[in-house]
Amino acid sequence: MTHRLLQIGPITPAVDARLAAEYTVHPLWKEPDPAAFLAQHGAEFEAAATHLRLACDAALFAAVPNLKVLANFGAGYDKIDIDAAHRQGVQVSNTPDVLNGCVADLAMGLLIDVARGLSTTDRFVRAGGWKTGQRPLMTRVHGKRLGLLGFGGIGQEIARRGVGFGMTVRYHTRRPVADTPHEHVESLRDLAEWADFLVVACVGGAATRHLVSADILDALGLQGILVNIARGSVVDEAALVAALQEGRVGGAGLDVYENEPNVPESLLAMDQVVLMSHIAGFTRESRADMEALVGDNLAAYFQTGKVLTPV
């Protein structure tokens, strides 16, 4: 007999197919009244799977009192109440590290694009502007100062790429990271004041909400460039818009936003801003690795009692 698994919402076709093949899956999102279903059947599930965009709050965990494992598709878990899960003895897994390189690639791509005006120059050429003039001088990337807010797996991958460009790298975290040649800066404001480029690569959630405030943006300065490939909540978006409009920050490369998929109209109109659609980990390779890890975490739990990548 296969184990019963509660699937909070659709994940990807590959994950959905593997779960259906290996477990007796109940698709919660197809229930007309999910709360009523859980009130009647929630105690029947030991395992669950979810997508990073779906909320798993304390009420949900309370409704599945015998839950022991929740496999999350995504490195981020800011929509999961981890404290509630742990109080209930639920192991939560995510899919970290497998997308670090791809996210770091996009971070550097955004950094270069904003600094050198790749997207704006592409539009300029397509519109015929080169026939009558030339674009203004832009900013060099190599040899500059790269500041990282967050220095986990993704931050360290970005640092490696920055070193390849001859950049000096410093980072800010709550505590210094061992075994790195890069300098830890205790104050985020001091890091922003020092950096030519400030890349946001920390976790989301209440603890990091609006860490990049108006004050931090002012410290980054009128030549500074902000890149965010973490979570939109980390940056005070209204403050960023104001700083860009008033020329207090040089530019921004954004893959994430406070209210996705809604992007402020004011950002859409700015040539010094490059906008992505939360695609930092969207490559065929990283997607396949993430899909495999969701199933592997569940399989490991049922085989050994422990997930592979616990949160």
* Positions marked active-site: 231, 260, 278
Angle (CA) 22-25-26 rounded to 5° is 180
Q: Distance from CA of residue 24 to its chain's centroid?
A: 31
Pairwise CA distance, residues 147 & 179, whole Å: 18
Question: What is the C-alpha to C-alpha distance for residues 250 and 269, in angstroms, rounded to an integer?
Answer: 15
Query: Comparing C-alpha atoms, which of 75, 87, 79 is closest to residue 150?
Result: 75
Residues near 97 by beta carbon (within 8 Å), at least 6 away in sequence: 75, 153, 309
How remote is the C-alpha of 257 from its chain's centroid?
Answer: 10
Nearest to 253 by CA among 278, 235, 275: 275
* Cα 176 off chain centre by: 21
Closest-CA residue to 53 (of 74, 83, 28, 27): 74
Backbone dihedral region for residue 89 (phi beyond 0: left; psi -120 to 50: alpha; all else: beta): left
Residues 20/14, Cβ–Cβ less than 8 Å: no
| One-letter amino acid for residue 3 of the chain | H
